Each structure stands twice: as structure tokens, then as C-alpha cells.
Amino acid sequence: MIEVGVSPPAAFDAALVARIHELARALGVDGDSFLLTDFHAPDPDLLHQIADGLTLAFVTHCYHHHPRGENVYELMALEEKTAPNTPEAAALEARIEEAAAAQIPFVVSVNRLLEDYYRIRRQIDACRGLP
């Protein structure tokens, strides 16, 4: 029974649900994850669970998909301390290029996912009444 003067919970915007599902799939959540279910009413607990679920999925994705190579920035710091035009400098340059080649595609994809995550979180927070 709905109380007089109280509106029933609104349904989720279909576009937001589709974006949540798309991001969840891109982050590699399991097919049976609640993030891939059909959300009906945006109650505060569900909104909080979705926000937390996306956050955990994002962190998990970064942990599991990060290339396990050398740190480009650490190698660049070593290169600055190495005498130029030496075999050591050339070897460091090759290591830097190899590490960057492995990490740049990952960083680019994470940046795209992070932008999607940010926009979706802003919408979820707005539904929750948060700034």
C-alpha cells in the first residue's frame, strides 16, 4: 500500500542501467554479478551497493589486468642518473621503451574506463542526493 502524499520510487533511467551494465562488462565482472541485473527501483541501499560494486570492480580490474613489467618512471629516474651515450644508457632506454609499450595501452584503457566510471558515479550520487 502506498501512503497518501508519498510517491512510489521511480524506476531507474534505462540509459543509466545500460551504462552500468556496459561498464560492469568492460570491467570483467562475472555474468551472475548483481551489477548485470535489471534494476527497478533506485532505493538508497541499492544505489549504495551499485556504487560500491562498480568501485570494487574497477579496482579489481586494475589489479588483475595491469601489466607486470618494470616501472617506466623508475627506469626514467635511473636513466637521468646514467651517463649519456653509454651502453648502460642504451640498455636503460631499451628497457624504458619495452615497459612503456606494455603499459601505455593499459593506461589508455583505464583512463577511458575511469571516465565512464566517474560519469556513472556522478549520476548515482545525484540519485542518492549527494553532491
Q: Which domain holds residue 89?
A: 14-127
At 36-63, the pLDDT tens digits run: 998 877 788 999 999 999 999 999 999 9
How many domains does the chain divide into? 1
Q: Which of 55, 69, 50, 60 is nearest to 28 (CA)?
A: 60
Instruction: Give pTM, 2 decimals.
Output: 0.77
Rounded to a whole number of angstroms, the CA Rg of the chain reads 22
Instruction: Please give the pLDDT value at position 10.
Output: 54
At 78-89, the pLDDT tens digits run: 999 999 999 999
Flag whether 2 is in a domain.
no
Residue 4 has, within 13 A of its CA and on its CB side, a CA count of 0
Flag whether 109 is in a domain.
yes
Q: Using CA atoms, how far apart are residues 13 and 29, in angstroms rounded to an integer?
A: 22
Flag whether 88 is in a domain.
yes
Flag whether 6 is in a domain.
no
Flag whether 119 is in a domain.
yes
Flag whether 4 is in a domain.
no
Flag whether 3 is in a domain.
no
Cell output for 131: 553532491
Residue 93 has, within 13 A of its CA and on its CB side, a CA count of 9
